[in-house]
C-alpha cells in the first residue's frame, strides 16, 4: 500500500499521536492522508474506500481530535457523534478502533447493536456518551423507547453506505437523519458509488469533499495466490496438509455453509490443529469469544462463512484458505482482502474441485490475473478435467442433477431456510456483490492522477 507523509503533519492531538505510535502506525494510508485534514477542518466528506484501506482511522482520528478540542460532559441520553454501520461485527470493530486511538483521551464511546439485550445499552446511554457506534435498527429501537435522543449530534458517520443500502436500511437511515440537527458534520464511506449512494450523499451531505482510493480488484495484486486442484472428498486432508506445511501466523478458512464451517473445524481439531468456527448460528457472545481468541493468537485457525467474516478486522492474518471457492468473484476478492491488510504480505490458497473450475475462471477475469495452479487430484483424467461449458460467453460450472448448485450459490435445500435474517443478509450480499464495480467503473469514480477531487 502506498503510504503518505507522517501523522504529525496533521497536527493531531498529542494523545492520539501517542496511541498511534503505540499501535506502530508510522505513516497514514492514502484514505487517511486525504480524509483526516478535511474532517479536522469541519468539512463533510464522501470517501470511496473499502475495508482494509484504513478508512476507520481516517474518520475516527479527526473525530476524536475534534471532541478532545471541545471537551464537554455528555448530555443524558445523547451522543455527540453517531456512527452507523451495517453489521454488528463491523460496529464492534469501529468501537474498538475509537477506544484504541482514544485511549489517552477522556472520551466515552458505546455500542448499540441488535442481537443482544437492549437493557445494558439503555443504562449506558442514561448518562450520555461522546461516541455511539450503532446499527440502524437498534438506533430506532432506542429512539422509540426514549432511551436515546439525537438533538446533540454534531457529527454523523455512515460507514459502508452501499452495504447499508443493499441490506435495506435506507428507510431506517432516513428516519434517523430526520432527527439529527441540520447543522452537523456528515461523513459517508462506501466501497462503491452507485447512483443511489450519490443521491443519498446529495441529500445528506453539505458541499462534501470527495476522496477515493484504490478499487477492490487491486487487493488481488498484493496477495500471493495459489489454486490447488483437488478431488472434492480429499479437500479436508489437503487442507490439513496445507495448514501443516505453511508458515501460518493466523489462517482464516472460508466455507460456503455454516454446517460446512462446523465440519471443517471438527476435522481440523481431530487432526490436532486447534480451530474454531464462526457463523450466523452462533450467538453474539460466542462470536465475540471466538474472535477474541483468534485475535490474541490463542487459536490460529478460524473457519468462517462469508457473512460472519464480513468486518472481521484482525491484524496478522497470514493466510486465507478457500475451502470452497466462492461462486461470486467479488466475494473472492473480499475474502483474500482479509490478509495483506495495511500493506502486509498475505497468502491465499483455494482448494478447487471439478465443480468450481468455472468460478476460478470468473475470478481470474475480475482480478485480471491468472492464478498459479498445483494439482493434488488422484485421477487427473477424470471427467472434471474437461473444460467447463461456456454459455453466453461465460464459463458455466458442471452440475450434478441430484444436487444442483445455482449461480447464486444457494441450493434448493438451502433456499428453504432463507427466512432467517442471516440468510436474508446473505441474499443481499450476493446482490451487492453482483453490483460491485468493475475496475473500469471504479477508475471512473476515482480520478487517477490526484486520487481525489473537491466538491460534490
Ligand atoms: P480498516 O480499513 O479501517 O478496516 O483498516 C484496515 C487495517 O489497517 C486495520 O487492521 C488497521 O489497524 C490497519 N491500519 C489502519 N491504518 C493504518 C496505518 N496508518 N498504518 C498501519 N496500519 C494501519
Calpha distance 79→148 (Å, rounded): 8
Q: What's the 101 CA to ligand 1 centre distance in angstroms?
A: 12
Calpha distance 409→423 (Å, rounded): 12
- Going by C-alpha positions, the residue among 392, 299, 395, 319 that lies closest to residue 356 is 395
Q: What's the 315 CA to ligand 1 centre distance in angstroms?
A: 8
**Residues forming beta bridges with residue 48, ordered by sequence position:** 190, 212
Query: And the C-alpha cell for 256?
Result: 460456503
pLDDT value, residue 330: 76
Average pLDDT, the chain: 81
Predicted confidence (pLDDT) per residue in 401-451, tens digit: 444 444 444 444 443 333 333 333 322 222 223 233 333 322 222 222 222
- Could you tell which of 56, 92, 98 is best to mutate to test the pocket of ligand 1, judged by most ligand atoms within 8 Å of the CB? 56
Among 2-16, 112-126, 328-342, 420-434, name the one with the lowest average pLDDT.
420-434
306 — pLDDT class (breaks 50, 70, 90) = confident
Average pLDDT over residues 30-52: 92
Q: Please, are residues 53 and 33 in contact by the beta-carbon 8 Å criterion?
A: no
User: Strand 373-375 and strand 155-158: pairing?
Assistant: unpaired
Q: What's the 272 CA to ligand 1 centre distance in angstroms?
A: 32
Average pLDDT over residues 31-60: 93
pLDDT value, residue 328: 84
**SS3 label, residue 210:** strand
Q: Residue 94: which residues within 8 A CB-CB, separation 6 or more?
A: 56, 60, 83, 85, 133, 159
Give, using CA atoms, the residue closest to atom 20 of ligand 1: 25
Q: Using a 6 Å cutoff on CB, does residue 53 contact ligand 1?
A: yes
Query: Which residue shows C-alpha cell 443493499?
Result: 166
Calpha distance 284→89 (Å, rounded): 9
- Going by C-alpha positions, the residue among 367, 402, 122, 106 that lies closest to residue 223 is 367
pLDDT value, residue 446: 27
pLDDT value, residue 447: 27
pLDDT at 453 over 50: no
Q: Using a 6 Å cutoff on CB, does residue 29 contact ligand 1?
A: yes
Query: Within 13 A of 58's CA, how many CA atoms are on the CB side?
Result: 30
Residue spans in the chain of domains classed CATH 3.40.50.300 = 7-212, 223-375
pLDDT value, residue 411: 42
Calpha distance 311→423 (Å, rounded): 17
DSSP 142: H
C-alpha separations of 455 from 154, 209, 399 in Å: 21, 5, 50
pLDDT at 304 over 90: yes
Give, using CA atoms, the residue closest to atom 10 of ligand 1: 315
237 — pLDDT class (breaks 50, 70, 90) = very high
- Could you tell which of 53, 57, 103 is best to mutate to test the pocket of ligand 1, judged by most ligand atoms within 8 Å of the CB? 57
Calpha distance 254→100 (Å, rounded): 28
Higher per-residue confidence, 366 vs 361: 361
Average pLDDT over residues 270-284: 88
pLDDT at 263 over 70: yes
Q: Please, are residues 55 and 47 in contact by the beta-carbon 8 Å criterion?
A: yes
Calpha distance 139→308 (Å, rounded): 22
Give, using CA atoms, the residue closest to atom 18 of ligand 1: 25
pLDDT at 344 over 70: no
DSSP 380: T
Average pLDDT over residues 120-145: 97
Percentage of residues of the chain with pLDDT beyond 90? 56
pLDDT value, residue 409: 42
Average pLDDT over residues 254-274: 95
Element spanning 156, H or E = strand 155-158
CATH 3.40.50.620, domain 223-375, yes or no: no
CATH architecture of 7-212: 3-Layer(aba) Sandwich (3.40)
Among 20-34, 259-273, 303-317, name the one with the lowest average pLDDT.
303-317
Predicted confidence (pLDDT) per residue in 76-110, tens digit: 999 999 999 998 888 999 999 999 999 999 999 99
Query: And the C-alpha cell for 348?
Result: 491465499
Calpha distance 433→79 (Å, rounded): 33
pLDDT value, residue 441: 28
pLDDT value, residue 341: 65
- Which residue pairs, CB below 8 angstroms and at least 24 apart, start in 313-316? 313/51, 313/56, 313/93, 313/341, 314/250, 314/252, 314/338, 315/341, 315/342, 315/344, 316/249, 316/250, 316/344
Among 9-23, 333-347, 408-422, name the one with the lowest average pLDDT.
408-422
Q: Please, are residues 48 and 61 in contact by the beta-carbon 8 Å criterion?
A: no
pLDDT value, residue 404: 42
pLDDT value, residue 26: 84
Alpha helices (H) in 316-356, listed in sequence order: 329-336
269 — pLDDT class (breaks 50, 70, 90) = very high
Among 128-137, 367-376, 404-413, name the one with the lowest average pLDDT.
404-413
**SS3 label, residue 340:** coil
pLDDT value, residue 338: 83
Count of CB atoms situated within 10 Å of the CB of 86: 27
Amino acid at each position: 500500500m502506498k503510504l503518505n507523509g507522517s501523522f504529525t503533519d496533521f497536527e493531531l492531538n498529542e494523545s492520539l499521536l501517542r496511541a498511534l505510535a503505540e499501535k506502530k502506525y508510522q505513516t497514514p494510508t492514502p484514505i487517511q492522508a486525504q480524509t483526516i485534514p478535511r474532517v479536522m477542518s469541519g468539512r463533510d466528506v464522501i470517501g470511496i474506500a473499502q475495508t482494509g484501506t484504513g478508512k476507520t482511522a481516517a474518520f475516527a482520528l479527526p473525530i476524536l481530535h475534534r471532541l478532545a478540542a471541545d471537551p464537554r460532559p455528555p448530555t443524558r441520553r445523547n451522543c455527540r457523534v453517531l456512527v452507523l454501520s451495517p453489521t454488528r461485527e463491523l460496529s464492534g470493530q469501529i468501537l474498538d478502533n475509537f477506544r484504541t486511538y482514544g485511549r489517552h483521551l477522556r472520551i466515552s464511546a458505546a455500542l448499540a447493536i441488535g442481537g443482544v439485550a437492549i437493557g445494558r445499552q439503555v443504562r449506558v446511554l442514561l448518562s450520555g456518551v461522546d461516541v455511539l457506534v450503532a446499527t440502524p435498527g437498534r438506533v430506532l429501537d432506542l429512539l422509540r423507547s426514549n432511551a436515546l435522543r439525537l438533538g446533540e449530534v454534531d457529527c454523523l458517520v455512515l460507514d459502508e453506505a452501499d452495504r447499508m443500502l443493499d441490506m435495506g436500511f435506507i428507510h431506517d437511515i432516513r428516519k434517523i437523519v430526520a432527527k439529527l440537527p441540520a447543522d452537523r458534520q456528515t461523513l459517508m464511506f462506501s466501497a462503491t458509488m452507485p447512483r443511489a449512494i450519490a443521491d443519498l450523499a446529495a441529500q445528506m451531505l453539505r458541499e462534501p469533499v470527495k476522496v477515493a482510493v484504490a478499487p477492490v480488484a487491486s487487493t488481488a495484486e498484493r496477495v500471493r495466490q495459489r489454486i490447488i486442484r483437488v478431488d472434492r472428498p480429499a479437500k479436508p486432508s489437503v487442507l490439513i496438509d496445507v495448514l501443516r506445511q505453511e508458515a501460518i501466523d493466523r489462517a482464516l478458512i472460508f466455507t460456503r455453509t455454516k454446517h460446512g464451517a462446523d465440519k471443517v473445524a471438527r476435522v481440523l481439531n481431530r487432526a490436532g490443529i486447534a480451530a474454531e468456527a464462526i457463523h450466523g448460528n452462533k450467538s453474539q457472545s460466542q462470536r465475540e469469544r471466538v474472535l477474541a481468541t483468534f485475535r490474541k493468537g490463542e487459536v490460529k485457525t478460524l473457519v468462517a462463512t462469508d457473512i460472519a467474516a464480513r468486518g472481521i478486522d484482525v491484524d496478522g492474518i497470514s493466510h486465507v484458505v478457500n475451502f470452497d471457492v466462492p461462486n461470486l468473484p467479488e466475494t473472492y476478492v473480499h475474502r483474500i482482502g482479509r490478509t495483506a491488510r495495511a500493506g502486509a504480505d498475505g497468502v491465499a490458497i483455494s482448494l478447487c474441485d471439478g465443480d468450481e473450475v468455472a468460478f476460478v475462471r470468473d475470478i481470474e477475469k475480475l482480478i485480471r490475473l491468472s492464478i498459479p495452479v498445483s494439482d493434488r487430484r488422484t485421477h487427473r483424467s477424470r471427467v472434471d478435467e474437461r473444460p467447463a461449458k461456456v454459455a453466453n460467453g461465460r464459463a458455466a460450472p458442471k452440475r450434478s442433477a441430484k444436487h444442483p448448485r445455482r449461480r447464486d450459490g444457494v441450493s434448493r435445500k438451502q433456499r428453504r431456510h432463507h427466512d432467517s435474517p442471516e440468510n436474508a443478509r446473505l441474499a443481499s450480499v450476493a446482490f451487492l456483490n453482483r453490483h460491485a464495480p468493475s475496475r473500469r467503473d471504479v477508475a471512473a469514480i476515482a480520478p487517477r492522477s490526484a486520487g481525489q477531487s473537491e466538491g460534490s
